[in-house]
Structure 1
Amino acid sequence: MSSEPTLILIPGAWHIPSIWDKVTSILSDQQYKCIPIKLPSTTPTPSTSFLNDITVVRNAIKAEITQGRNVVVIGHSYGGPVGSSAIRGLTRPKHSQSQPQHQGHNPTTSPTNAQGHVIGLALLATGFTITGLSVLASMGGTPPPFWRINLESNDIEITAPLRELFYHDLSLDEGNDWVCKLEKQAAKAFLEGGEHVYAGWMDVPVWNLITTEDNALPYDVQRSYVEMARAEGGDVTVREVDSGHSLMLSRVDETVEFILDAVRAFAGERAMS
């Protein structure tokens, strides 16, 4: 069994797990166990919600930590809020056991017998959620202008050109191929479920990779999220990469380097504590 942490990789909204394939093929060659997640909200039904998404991630985490493995959760875009919320109660406290975690932590959810824990969050092209607020409310409450929300069908349609939004720095053929792979996205995952949203980024160290040429989540918006998290006491290490939104496709080497540096930093901090 590898002593390296297990890597749980969460895609963004509308996206399928194979968006991580270029990255995981390299990480797997370096003996990292990689678990890409399929989010239930990418096949919207009236029952599909934010809770469905975090439950899938929590189950994947628990399967690892109950076997004594540590876990690093990697979230892209909407996958960041999912990952941050899913780690609730599955981390080792940053400070001594006598000091409580931030408001909203429920100690009864902590795994009492598990040897492993979530030791860090690696977030890419994303924001930082606020405990008790829906994902959209955490983003400021106003949907992007290129969203068309249909509550009846629980769907979010994107009105902007998809290749330019997500894949403008890929080749034309590859970008168009990924446009064809996009799923539908449940609106409820963004609009509801605030009671399940959790600022897990306050419980573990965070590495955040900002995409400077991002058409879906602009650079200035990403920076503002980081400043908010730091002001609230988050331990956030920031790097930047000159890429569009889907950096795991267009900047593979830089994405792998970021993940590896983050994982090594998390593992080192845990060993010293």
Structure 2
Amino acid sequence: MPSLPKLVCIPGSWHKPTCYDKVTKLLEEQHGFKSVRVTLPSTSGNPAATFKDDLDAAREIISKEINNGHDVVVVAHSYGGVVGNSAIKGFTLKDVKSQTQLSTTGHVIGIILIASGFTLTGLSFMDPLFGHPPPAWRVNNETGYAELVTPPRELFYHDVLAEEAEYWVSQLTTQSLKALFEGGEYTYAGWQDVPVWYVGTVEDRGLPVLVQRIQVGMARELGGIVEHRELQTSHSPFLSQPQATVNIMAEAVKAFSGQPDGRKSTNERRALIETPKAVLWQPLTWFKFGLPLLFGRVLGRSFLLFRGGKRLWRSRFGLRSV
């Protein structure tokens, strides 16, 4: 019997990998899935830490696991999605050179993105925002850190019980600006190489769910194979709804590895987890899901046309300008 895939969990900005403790414990107890968590150098108190440092930390762990013969599923939250998408380059099935390699090493078989984004090759985390921070945080050039402006509990954990939320607020650390604004030369659209399960967060006060839905539509238009689920939670569903998050994660891992999910759906599970799609006889879903996903596809198509036009221009006029 083949070994179960290993989960490599990458946290988001300001967060330690311990934020995954609840879900990794449940995944092992209920499904036998073991996890390895990545500590990001950019959140370790060093303002000089770069995106490349974060990328190297994730790739080191992924490389170790696949060289030990394990297939790997990358789990990434928020900013961690840029790291996770980029880190799988060279580690997927499409990169395996021979059947000998396939039999002796593992490979990355999928990505689970939680309230995150779909990285575009060559763009840093802040490039899609044209370098302008969102209202939740600000640039402090004196310290070299991104500083939260919005109260952290409101931003990350508003649906977590007050005492527990305060504990997680106390666990937040610094976030290097360099990792957010630089490193575009190292980013990679790994979601185009493997299937993705996207966990959306409907009550998110950090990354609005409308933006999340648009991103899913865009990724699908650009060729991504994306399964989309949503939870009625804050930016941190692994803390506020760990069991529902685990249900989605386990289903995703089994889908990536070709294992049937034999569990029966419960009323609780159906109530918490939604599969976003527009249903013909439910007009509300056209506006809730259909339009954002469609707009995302339009953006994706526009990007494809722009990229195609750019290549055509270079092929026709590039040599003349040299």
State the TM-score, normalized to the length of structure 1.
0.88
Residue ranges of structure 1 left out of the alignment (5+ in a row): 98-110
Residue ranges of structure 2 left out of the alignment (5+ in a row): 260-322
1:73-84 aligned within 5 A = 73-84=74-85
Given the superposition, is the C-alpha separation of residues 44 and 138 from structure 1 closer, same or farther in structure 2, using an over 3 Å criterion?
farther
Which residue pairs with 1:66 in the alignment? 67
Give, in whole Å, the separation in 1 of the partners of 2:55 and 2:103: 22
**Contact 2:136–2:206 (Cα < 8 Å) also in 1:** no
SS of residue matched to 1:198: coil
Which residue pairs with 1:108 in the alignment? none
SS of residue matched to 1:268: coil
Which residue of 138, 141, 145 corresponds with 1:155?
145
Listed one character per residue, the Cα deviations across residues 30-66 of structure 1 (whole Å, up to 9, x for unaligned) are 3222101111100243430111111111110111111
* TM-aligned CA deviation for residue 138 of structure 1: 3.6
SS of residue matched to 2:118: coil
1:3 is aligned to 2:3 = yes
**Contact 2:11–2:17 (Cα < 8 Å) also in 1:** yes
SS of residue matched to 1:237: strand
Listed one character per residue, the Cα deviations across residues 199-246 of structure 1 (whole Å, up to 9, x for unaligned) are 000000000010000001110111111111111111111001000011
Which residue of 158, 163, 166 corresponds with 2:156?
166
Which residue of 241, 254, 264 corresponds with 1:251?
241
SS of residue matched to 1:229: helix
1:202 is aligned to 2:192 = yes
1:120-199 aligned within 5 A = 120-139=110-129, 141-199=131-189
* TM-aligned CA deviation for residue 261 of structure 1: 0.5
1:55 is aligned to 2:59 = no
**Contact 1:213–1:245 (Cα < 8 Å) also in 2:** yes
User: What's the % identity of the aligned pairs?
Assistant: 48
Given the superposition, is the C-alpha separation of residues 25 and 237 from structure 1 closer, same or farther in structure 2, using an over 3 Å criterion?
same
* TM-aligned CA deviation for residue 140 of structure 1: 5.5
**Contact 1:11–1:75 (Cα < 8 Å) also in 2:** yes
Which segment drifts farther, 146-155 or 48-57? Answer: 146-155
* TM-aligned CA deviation for residue 112 of structure 1: 8.7
Aligned residue type for 1:3: S
**Contact 2:26–2:243 (Cα < 8 Å) also in 1:** no
Which segment drifts farther, 260-269 or 212-221? Answer: 260-269
Given the superposition, is the C-alpha separation of residues 170 and 224 from structure 1 closer, same or farther in structure 2, using an over 3 Å criterion?
same
Give, in whole Å, the separation in 2 of the partners of 1:62 and 1:83: 13
**Contact 1:65–1:114 (Cα < 8 Å) also in 2:** no
Aligned residue pair count? 255
Given the superposition, is the C-alpha separation of residues 23 and 47 from structure 1 closer, same or farther in structure 2, using an over 3 Å criterion?
same
Which residue pairs with 2:254 in the alignment? 264
Which segment drifts farther, 27-36 or 13-22? Answer: 27-36
**Contact 1:130–1:138 (Cα < 8 Å) also in 2:** no
RMSD across aligned positions (CA): 2.0
Aligned residue type for 2:163: D
State the TM-score, normalized to the length of structure 2.
0.75
Which residue pairs with 1:227 in the alignment? 217
* TM-aligned CA deviation for residue 3 of structure 1: 0.7
1:26 is aligned to 2:13 = no
Given the superposition, is the C-alpha separation of residues 222 and 139 from structure 1 closer, same or farther in structure 2, using an over 3 Å criterion?
farther
* TM-aligned CA deviation for residue 77 of structure 1: 0.7
Which structure carries more helix by proportion? 2
Give, in whole Å, the separation in 2 of the partners of 1:229 and 1:180: 35
Give, in whole Å, the separation in 2 of the partners of 1:141 and 1:268: 41
* TM-aligned CA deviation for residue 142 of structure 1: 3.1
Give, in whole Å, the separation in 1 of the partners of 2:176 and 2:39: 14
Aligned residue type for 1:12: G
Give, in whole Å, the separation in 1 of the partners of 2:4 and 2:131: 39
Relative contact order (alpha carbons < 8 A, sep ≥ 6): 1 or 2 greater? 1
Given the superposition, is the C-alpha separation of residues 113 and 88 from structure 1 closer, same or farther in structure 2, using an over 3 Å criterion?
farther
Which residue pairs with 2:267 in the alignment? none
SS of residue matched to 2:126: helix
Give, in whole Å, the separation in 2 of the partners of 1:136 and 1:36: 24
Aligned residue type for 1:175: A
